[in-house]
């Protein structure tokens, strides 16, 4: 679906995992994904999944996801096939996208699927758009921008929804603060890669191109 004013379309995704590195054997234990379209969340997907390895006490405390909960969860391969169907051909957004893309790609490889969807990183974009924020952790940015939150942290769907609200806020701020219309997925993706000292020039030129 093309991006038209008020119709930024992307899937915002978040994983809870057993650790930081799929290359060292870490696996996904929960995924949350929300579809943003027409400046709002229009669809959601969430599932726990059984990694078939025990998660550490740290992860149990960090996420609230216990080994007992995962024992009765569906296998990762089942969830990945459902996730693949939910994602479809949509663009993807994640907070620190390098992390989630590595896990997504690693789990997709196990179902013989290669991701072709492009990622944009809300953390890198927020660093450029909100350089004055105390830091650029997801929960800090949600509080800083006074975004909608149910108070749940480090659960996949809650984090995906917070990231989606952050993304929608960045779109509003780019529209109202810089006069950029429409704010496309491509613009957010490019903003995240612009050298910080050139952000102002990039946004000024983006505003001119939209006129």
Partner DNA sequence: TGCCAGGCCCTCTTTAGGGCCTT
Q: How many residues bind DNA (CB under 7 A)?
A: 38
123-127's contacts with Cβ under 8 Å and 24+ in sequence apart are 123/95, 123/96, 123/97, 124/97, 124/191, 124/192, 124/193, 125/170, 125/188, 125/191, 125/192, 126/166, 126/170, 127/196
Q: Which stretch binds DNA (CB under 7 A): 36-44, 71-79, 135-143, 170-178?
A: 135-143
List the one residue from 31, 35, 120, 124 that touches DNA (CB under 7 A): 124
Intra-chain end-to-end CA distance of the chain, in Å: 22
Residue 43 DSSP one-character state: E
Distance between CA 104 and CA 115 in Å, rounded?
A: 8
Binding residue for DNA (CB under 7 A) from 82, 113, 139, 173? Answer: 139
At closest approach, how far in Å is the CB of 147 from DNA? 13
- Check residue 74 for interaction with DNA (CB under 7 A): no
| CB closer to DNA, 56 vs 204 | 56
- Considering only residues 143 through 182, tell me which ones interact with DNA, judged by CB under 7 A: 154, 159
| Alpha carbon distance 123, 117 (integer Å) | 18
Instruction: List binders of DNA among 14-43 (CB under 7 A).
Output: 14-17, 19-21, 23-26
Output the DSSP codes for 82-117. Answer: HHHHHHTT--EEETTHHHHHHHHHHHHHHTT-----
CB atoms closer than 10 angstroms to residue 53: 13
For DNA, the closer CB: 4 or 66: 66
CB of 7 to DNA, least distance (A): 27
Closest separation in Å from C-beta 138 to DNA: 4
Asked if residues 23 and 98 have their Cβ atoms less than 8 Å apart, the reply is: no
Token pair of 26, please? Answer: 């870490």
| Residue among 110, 186, 193, 198 that touches DNA (CB under 7 A) | 193
Say whether residue 68 binds DNA (CB under 7 A): no
Catalog residues that contact DNA under the rule CB under 7 A. Answer: 14-17, 19-21, 23-26, 54, 56-59, 62-63, 95-96, 98-99, 102, 123-124, 127-128, 135-139, 154, 159, 192-193, 195-196
């Amino acid at each position: 679906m093309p991006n038209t004013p008020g119709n930024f379309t992307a899937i915002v995704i978040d994983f809870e995992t057993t650790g930081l590195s799929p290359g060292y054997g870490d696996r996904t234990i929960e995924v949350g994904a929300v579809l943003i379209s027409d400046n709002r969340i229009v669809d959601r997907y969430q599932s726990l999944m059984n990694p078939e390895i025990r998660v550490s006490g740290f992860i149990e405390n960090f996420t609230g996801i216990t080994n007992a909960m995962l024992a009765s969860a569906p296998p990762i391969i089942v969830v990945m096939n459902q996730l693949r169907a939910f994602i479809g051909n949509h663009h993807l957004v994640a907070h620190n996208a390098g992390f989630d893309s590595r896990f997504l790609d690693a789990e997709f490889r196990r179902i013989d699927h290669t991701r072709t969807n492009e990622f944009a990183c809300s953390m890198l974009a927020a660093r450029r758009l909100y350089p004055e924020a105390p830091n650029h952790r997801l929960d800090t940015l949600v509080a800083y921008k006074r975004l909608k939150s149910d108070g749940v942290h480090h659960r996949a769907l809650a984090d995906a929804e917070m990231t989606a609200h952050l993304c929608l806020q960045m779109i509003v701020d780019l529209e109202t603060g810089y006069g950029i219309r429409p704010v496309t997925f491509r613009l957010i993706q490019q903003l995240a890669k612009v050298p910080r000292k050139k952000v102002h020039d990039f946004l000024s030129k983006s505003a001119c191109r939209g006129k």
